[in-house]
Structure 1
Amino acid sequence: MKRMVLYMYFLFILTQMPEVVLSATHSVTWTLPAQNDSLAVESGDLIEFSWTSGQHNLVMCRDQAEYDSCSCTEELANTSFSSFPFQYTVPQGDAGTTMYLVCMESAHCANNMKMTLTLVNTFGGDASAPSEDGTMNTAVVWSNPPNPISLTVESGQVVDFTWTAGSHDLYMCADQTAYDSCACTQELASTNFTSFPFQYTVPMADAGTVMYFVCMVPGHCTNGMKMMMTMVNTMGGDAPGPAPVESPAESPAESPAETPSESPTSGGSSQAQTHAVAWTLPVSVATLAVQSNDVVEFTWTSGSHNLVMCPDKAAYDSCSCTQELASNTFSAFPFPYAVPEGEDGTTMYLVCTVNSHCEAGMKMTLTLANDDMTMASPPPATMASPPPVDTTNDSPMSSLFVVGRMVILATASLYIVFF
C-alpha cells in the first residue's frame, strides 16, 4: 500500500513539473552583406552574432517600414562591442512574428547588411495549429532556402506562407521536370503580396501526389528557394460509406406491419455529398462525378478568377461562356454550387473567363452519376383474422380479459373478477 501511495505521489509531481524545452543556437557572421538574409527561429533560441573586422553595430527595427528605409534606432550592440559572440535571445511570440535587424553604421544597411528572424512556433510548440473550422494550418517561412523544404499534407489542410523581407513570389510547377528546371508558370502570389500569411489550401488528391512550389524571382529558384508537398491522404481518411441497415425484428402475425414509404427515384442518392475544388490554374480536378443535390465548394484565395457556366460543350471548348455564377470580386469562400437534378450522364461545364484563364486550361466538367436504385416496397402484411364468435350461446358475455393473475368477465351489465 505504501509503495502504491509513493508511486501515485511521484506521478503527481511529474505532472506538475514545467515542460522542458531545448532551445537551439544559431551562429551568424555579421558581415557586409549579411551572411543570411533571413532565419527561421523559435522562441527561446539563441542567435550568436560575430563580427571581427570593420565597424559594425546591431540595431533592431520596430517594423518593416523602418527596416526597408534603414531608419532603425533600437541599438542592441554598438561599434565598440568586442566580447564576441553577441548573444540575442529570441522572445516569445506568435508563429509568423518577424524581427528586423540591421547594421546602421555608415551606409551598411542600405548596402543590404540586414536580416530578418521569423518565428515558426513558440517554445517547442507544433508549427501546425488547428484553425477555427478544425483544419490544420502549417507555417512555412518562404525564404532562401525555405523552412521546411518539404511537407507531408492532407486534403483541406491550409499552408501559411510568410515572407516579410526581400522580394519573393510563389509559383506552382506543373510537374517535377518544371520544378527541377525552374520553369514554372502558375503564379499563386506575386512579389507585391503583403497580406501575410499567404494561405494555400491543399486540394483533394490521391495519396502520394506531389505538389511543387518555387520562387521565380531571378536566381531564387536556381539557388534552392523551392519546396515540395506530398499527400499522405485526404482529411478524415476514407470517405464514409453508407450506414449499415438494421434488419427489423420479425413482427408477430397478429401485429399489423408498418409499410415503409417508397424511396424517390429522382434526385440520386438521398445523402448529398460535398466536394472541395481548388479553383486554380490549372484546376486541381478536371472532371468530377457528382449526384443531384451534391454541393461542390470552389475556393480561390489568390489571383483574379470567376466561375462561369457554359450552356454546352461547344461553348466550353471555345471558352465563350457567359452565365457567371461567381465574379472575380467574390471573397466569401468557399463558393458553394448545388448540383441540380438531372438524368444520368448529364454534364455541366464550368470555366474561368478572366483574361485567358479558360484557354490556358482553367475549366472543368461535372457529370451526373446518380444511384437509381429504388427501394422496393414490401407487400402489405396480412392481419390475422380473429377467431369466429360462437353465437349458439345466448349469454350476454361480450369480453374476457386476463390481467396479471386476474380474470375479468364482462357482460353487458356485470363485471365479474376471478383471482
Structure 2
Amino acid sequence: MEKIINQAHDKYTFIYALSRLFERASYYGLRSLLVLYMVGESLKMPTEEALSIYGWLTASIVFSQILGALLGDLVIGNKKSIIIGGILQAIGAFSFCIPSTTGLYIGIVLVVLGGGLYTPNMISHFGKLYLNKTKLLDSGFIIFYLAINIGAFIGTILMGYFGEKLWWNYGFIVAGLLMLISIILLLTSKEIDNTQIIEKDIHISQKIIEVLTAFILVALFWAVYEISGMRFFDLEIKFREISTLNISKSLWSSLNSVFLIPISIIAIIVWSLFYNTQFIKLTIGFILGAISYGLLFFIPETPSEQHLILYLVSLLFLSISEIHIAPIIHSILTQYTNPKYLAIVISLVFIPTRFFSYIVGIFNDDLYDNPLFSIKLGIIIMSVTSIALITYVFINKKSSIVQHPSNS
C-alpha cells in the first residue's frame, strides 16, 4: 500500500452521490409499493398477474439501460440523459396516482425508460470525475455505493409507511418528489470535459482483459450472492423465531444494511488515504466472501440461539466482501474504458449479471429446498475465484518487478 497524496474528493463527488441517493430512494420505494398497489383495492389485480408485471419491469430495465447508454454516449450526452431520465421517472411515479391500469402501464413505461437513461449515464458521469485522480477511483465509487444503499433503505421504509399507513398516492407522490430533488442537485454540478482527461499509457489488449475480467467477476459475485441469499433468508426466519433479543422484523430484514453502512464509511476513509490495486481489493472481497459462506456451513439446519453469533459474523464478512467487489467493478470499467463509450460498457455489464440470475432462477425451488447445497456451491465458486485472483495478482506483481527492476 502507498499513501495517496495530492488527490482529494471534491464537492461534486458528494453532489452526485446525494443525487443518486434520492434517485434510488425513489426507485426502490416505488418497487416496494408496486405489487401491493396492484393487488390492493385500487386495481384488484390477481397476485400472479401483478408479479408477472413486476418481473417484466425489472427485466426491462436491463435493456432500457443499453438504449439509454447509447443515447447518452453517442447522441445527447451523459448529463442531459441523466436529467431527462430523472424527469421521466418522476412523471412515471406521479402517473401511478391515476387509479387505473392505464396509469399503471404509463407509469411503468416511463420509469423503465427513465431508469435506462439515468443509471448508466450517472455511473459513467460520476466515474469521469476521477479519471485524472485514479488512485481515488475505488473510494469514490464506495461513496457512490454507500449512497445507493442508504437511498434504497430510506426509500423502502419511507414509501412503505406512506403507502400502507396513509394512502398509496402519498407514496407515489413522495417518490416523484424525491426524483425531482435528485435532478435539482444535478443542475448544480459541472459538465465533464472529455478533452481534459489525461490518457493513460495502457495497451489495448490489457484494457480488454481488465474489462472482460470485471464483467465475469461481477456476474459471478451477484450470482453467488443470489444463491446464498436462500440460506441467509432461511436462517433469518429461524433466528427471528427463536431469538430472545428484542429485534423488530424490519430490522432483521435490514441487518445487511446495518453492517454495510459503517463498513462502507471505514472503507472510504482507508482507501481515500491509502492506495492499493483494484485486483487486491477484489481478492480481499472474494476471500472474505468464501469465509462468510464457510461460517454458514457450520450452522445446522435447525439452529439454536447460540449459532446467532456465527450468522452475524458471516453477515459482517459478506458486507466487507460486497464493499470490496461491487463498487470496485465500476472503478475498473471506468479506468480501462474509453471515456467516450463508458456508459455503453457499464450498461453491458448488467447482461452477464442478469444471465447468471436467470440461470439461478431456474433452480430456485431446488436451491430453496436444499439451502446447504447453495452454500457449498457459494464456497466453491468464491474459493476458486479467490485462488484465480491471487494467481493473477502474483503474476502481475512479478511481471512488474521484471519490467522495473530495482536500481540497487
TM range (shorter): under 0.3
Give the strand-richer structure, 1 or 2: 1
Which structure would you say has the larger Rg?
Answer: 1
What's the TM-score, normalizing by structure 1? 0.19
